[in-house]
Amino acid sequence: MSSLRRRKPINESSDSKHNEEEEDEDHDDVDADGDDDVNGKNKKTPSKIKKKRGEKPPKQPKWSCMDTCCWFIGCICIIWWLLLFLYNAMPASFPQYVTEAITGPLPDPPGVKLKKEGLEAKHPVVFVPGIVTGGLELWEGRECAEGLFRKRLWGGTFGEVYKRPLCWVEHMSLDNETGLDPCGIRVRPVSGLVAADYFAPGYFVWAVLIANLARIGYEDKTMYMAAYDWRLSFQNTEVRDQTLSRIKSNIELLVATNGGRKVVVIPHSMGVLYFLHFMKWVEAPAPMGGGGGPDWCSKHIKAVVNIGGPFLGVPKAIAGLFSAEAKDIAVARALAPGFLDNDIFQFQTLQHVMRMSRTWDSTMSMIPRGGNTIWGGLDLSPEEGNSCAKKREKKNETQIADQAGSENAVCKAKSANYGRIISFGKDVAEAPSSDIERIDFRGAIKGHSAANTTCRDVWTEYHDMGFAGIKAVAEYKTYTADSLVDLLHFVAPKMMARGTAHFSYGVADNLDDPQYKHYKYWSNPLETRLPNAPDMEIYSLYGVGLPTERAYVYKLSPHAECSIPFKIDTSADDEDTCLRDGVYSVDGDETVPVLSAGFMCAKGWRGKTRFNPSGIRTYIREYNHLPPANLLEGRGTLSGAHVDIMGNFALIEDVIRIAAGASGEELGGDQVYSKIFNWSEKINLRLDEEIPVHSSR
């Protein structure tokens, strides 16, 4: 600034004097900071000087704070642009080059490796995405969603969630009575491979697998993403969108256009159940089913490669339905108490989320199936004796050998009662069953509804229950898989009435019973037979080595109006019994316990059983979880986590080999790290066709 002034005299000499005066003033100002007569001296620009007061003596005296800020921002912008420019000018392979320079040469992605081996695209591939990972877009909405036509509400950037959360919740919810669209709102699944390749920018789901398949020659005509609206019950996707018919037609088209080669189906997570439902639907006669005839599956399907399949449900679904929370939320609540609970802004986040997710029928497909037979009773559970070594393993991988020794010691001392999926209080969870006094809640009177008037926005069925009902629930103390279903019926009768019309959670006694022709049994592997397709193969691919939620310790939440009356007791911790923050965990892939993912392939369908009358071959492929070695690897190429496993190179290689024509034996048969076979042995489930007089063992 001052140089400018100094230069001025050249052009305007008449001003020079005045300028010099001002120059003087400036220096006065700097020196005589706090002098009283400064103000008297400089009457011309009092405001300027006032502003400069209190600042440090600046080098360029005329620069105000604003200017500095602007200058600073300008600098940052320029640097930013420069970097951006450099980034864009950089060749695309540069990051890979850097990574390789640091970590040494990366292994070839499986697609490249197998292409070198000479593998080629053979069987067409069908992807069936799971819950939550599929994109949803708006086709018709309320006024508040204007401008979002055909924009993604789910998946993609999620920008709208932050902008208009209530509007978003409204559009994502379904009708509470029918489980279909609310009036005037149509949200539909995105179709095509884009539906579930990335869940959010940079967070891949199917993208890595697709990219690797493309390397050996797959493209749009040989791949198909069976996108469906994952909020609906399985049969409703057909009723509303004809999704099952479309999948049938597309599979037929794939087979026809690829020279009669059968498809390889790759379902993930809930897609596993969905496809189970599909296989049953497609062979059922026309009004309820697809009318494909009894040999449709054997004609069109080579293999079903299930990734992380919750065949028998996941305990996580219980926590989600019961109190709209899971491990993550419970931990967050423990860390910052009051943050999620306060009603100051009337956010009532959890209540909104709960109300929304309870309208989704599909969440009920994930409730644990098979009752006490599978998941264990009050005292016994198949996983008994499991230690939490895996958790520690993460911390010090080098000492695995030592641990193996200590493991046993720990296990003998105390074992968790995994069968008690929900218990109220830690003492209840640990006490022997004889010590627990339980008061049956089933007949309990719910009492008059509490807080029905004030919580207009976030009505959940809890508000119908009243205090007596809530108390009755807590009095029963502990719930096993059997009584859980009753519990849910008690706390959310409307939701469960909707849900039980579409799903069933039992074990069939006699599969010939005509009632099992109804579609609500089709997605439960314990209540349906596999199709008659002896040449088909069923794979179960899942990660192991991660602690997975299995049972919860609950407490009554301090009562406040409009809140959920139960919450996970995060104070309950026990190193020995895998209890942490109120959650018992077992081996699994962080979402699905090994038992649920592996049992059917390990025992339920192994050989010729009554669930698998044609003797479809089953294979278990487990992948031990190894966290990414460094940050550059992103989500890791050896991960075993529920979604990240889709980027696991070993899994991708298996999938590609199957798609290129390999059979299960050529792949290496079973590959097991967990104790799934031990645990399956412990489950006392009849597998022979005839009805026994009394159950053995």
Partner 1 sequence: MASVLRFRKLCYVESAVKCTSVGYESFEIDEKLDKKEEDVLSANNFALEINKKRKQPKRQPKEWRCLDSCCWIIGYLCTTWWLLLFFYHCFPVTLLRVPELPGPGVRLKREGLTALHPVVLVPGIVTGGLELWEGRPCADGLFRKRLWGGGSFTQIFKRPLCLLEHLSLHYETGLDPQGIRVRAVPGLVGADYFAPGYFVWAVLIENLAKIGYEGKNLHMAAYDWRLSFQNTEIRDHALTRLKSKIELMYISNGYKKVVAVPHSMGVIYFLHFLKWVETPPPMGGGGGPGWCAKHIKAVMNIGPAFLGVPKAVSNLFSAEGKDVSYIRAMAPGVFDSEILGLQTFERVMRMARTWDSIVSLLPKGGEVIWGNMDRSPEEGHVCDFSKKSHSKTSLTTNNVNNSDVKRGFLVKDLANYGRIISFGKPASILHSSKLPTSDSKVFSRTSTSENFNNFSCGEAWTEYDEMSRQSIQNVAADKAYTTTTLLDLLRFVAPKMMRRAEAHFSHGIAENLDDPKYNHYKYWSNPLETKLSDAPDMEIYCMYGVGIPTERSYVYKLSPNSRCKSIPYQIDNSVHGEDGSCLKGGVYFADGDESVPVLSAGFMCAKGWRGRTRFNPSGIATYIREYRHKPPTSLMEGRGIESGSHVDIMGNFALIEDIMRVASGATGDEIGGDQIHSDIIKMSERINLGL
State the binding string over 163-202 for partner 1 (x if CB under 8 A, else -).
Answer: x----------------------x-xx-xxxx--x-----
629 near partner 1, rule: CB under 8 A:
no
Among 103, 242, 342, 510, binds partner 1 (CB under 8 A): 242
Give the span between the Cα atoms of 231 and 237, in whole angstroms.
Answer: 9
99 near partner 1, rule: CB under 8 A:
no
The CA-atom distances, in angstroms, between 617 and each of 278, 542, 550, 630, 656 are 19, 17, 29, 39, 19
Please say if 269 is a catalytic residue.
Answer: yes
88 near partner 1, rule: CB under 8 A:
yes
Q: Which residues contact 47 (CB under 8 A, 6 or more apart)?
A: none
When the beta carbons of 92 and 335 are compared against partner 1, the nearer one is 92
When the beta carbons of 256 and 404 are compared against partner 1, the nearer one is 256
Contact 365, 523 (CB under 8 A): yes
62 near partner 1, rule: CB under 8 A:
yes
Among 241, 341, 461, 486, binds partner 1 (CB under 8 A): 241
30 near partner 1, rule: CB under 8 A:
yes
Among 103, 249, 396, 454, binds partner 1 (CB under 8 A): 249
14 near partner 1, rule: CB under 8 A:
no
State the binding string over 201-230 for partner 1 (x if CB under 8 A, else -).
Answer: ---------xx--xx---xxx---------
Among 85, 97, 149, 339, binds partner 1 (CB under 8 A): 149
Residue 224's DSSP bridge partners are: 126
When the beta carbons of 215 and 369 are compared against partner 1, the nearer one is 215
Nearest-approach distance from CB 241 to partner 1, in angstroms: 5
43 near partner 1, rule: CB under 8 A:
no
Tokens of 525: 């592997």
Nearest-approach distance from CB 217 to partner 1, in angstroms: 8
Among 17, 53, 78, 414, binds partner 1 (CB under 8 A): 78
Nearest-approach distance from CB 264 to partner 1, in angstroms: 18
Instruction: Name the burial class of residue 193, with classes exposed (0-12), middle (13-18) and buried (19+) by CB atoms within 10 angstroms of its CB.
Output: middle
Contact 488, 321 (CB under 8 A): yes
286 near partner 1, rule: CB under 8 A:
no
Catalytic residue among 26, 589, 644, 654: 589
- Interacting residues with partner 1 between 440 and 479 (CB under 8 A): none
Long-range contacts of 343-351 (CB under 8 A, 24+ apart): 343/560, 343/562, 343/563, 346/457, 348/455, 348/457, 348/458, 348/562, 348/563, 350/324, 350/325, 350/563, 350/564, 351/324, 351/455, 351/458, 351/460, 351/562, 351/563, 351/564
Give the span between the Cα atoms of 196 and 130, in whole angstroms.
Answer: 9
Please say if 448 is a catalytic residue.
Answer: no
One DSSP character per residue, 491-509 reads H-HHHHHHHHTT---S--S
Nearest-approach distance from CB 651 to partner 1, in angstroms: 20
**Alpha carbon 394 to its chain's center:** 22
When the beta carbons of 91 and 287 are compared against partner 1, the nearer one is 91
Give the span between the Cα atoms of 270 and 131, in whole angstroms.
Answer: 5
When the beta carbons of 277 and 617 are compared against partner 1, the nearer one is 277
Please say if 642 is a catalytic residue.
Answer: yes
Nearest-approach distance from CB 498 to partner 1, in angstroms: 23
Catalytic residue among 269, 423, 523, 563: 269
257 near partner 1, rule: CB under 8 A:
yes
245 near partner 1, rule: CB under 8 A:
yes
Number of residues that bind partner 1 (CB under 8 A): 66
Instruction: Name the burial class of residue 137, with classes exposed (0-12), middle (13-18) and buried (19+) by CB atoms within 10 angstroms of its CB.
Output: buried
Give the span between the Cα atoms of 437 and 474, in whole angstroms.
Answer: 11
579 phi, psi to nearest 5 deg? -90, 125
Instruction: Name the burial class of residue 349, with classes exposed (0-12), middle (13-18) and buried (19+) by CB atoms within 10 angstroms of its CB.
Output: middle
Nearest-approach distance from CB 223 to partner 1, in angstroms: 10
Among 82, 83, 112, 256, binds partner 1 (CB under 8 A): 256
439 near partner 1, rule: CB under 8 A:
no
Nearest to 125 by CA among 246, 243, 217: 217
Contact 217, 119 (CB under 8 A): no
* Helix (H) or strand (E) segment spanning residue 407: helix 400-413
246 near partner 1, rule: CB under 8 A:
yes
23 near partner 1, rule: CB under 8 A:
yes
Among 36, 143, 328, 690, binds partner 1 (CB under 8 A): 143
In sign, the C-alpha dihedral spanning 160, 161, 163, 169 is positive
59 near partner 1, rule: CB under 8 A:
yes
Among 146, 435, 437, 509, binds partner 1 (CB under 8 A): 146
Radius of gyration of the chain (CA): 32
When the beta carbons of 215 and 352 are compared against partner 1, the nearer one is 215
85 near partner 1, rule: CB under 8 A:
no
Give the span between the Cα atoms of 614 and 622, in whole angstroms.
Answer: 25
Among 43, 150, 456, 694, binds partner 1 (CB under 8 A): 150
Residue recorded with tokens 């593998």: 119
Which chain residues interact with partner 1 by CB under 8 A? Answer: 1, 3-4, 6-7, 9-10, 20, 23, 27, 30-31, 47-48, 59, 62, 64, 66-67, 69-78, 88, 91-93, 139-140, 143, 146-147, 149-150, 163, 186, 188-189, 191-194, 197, 210-211, 214-215, 219-221, 241-242, 245-246, 249-250, 252-253, 256-257
Catalytically active residues, by annotation: 269, 589, 642
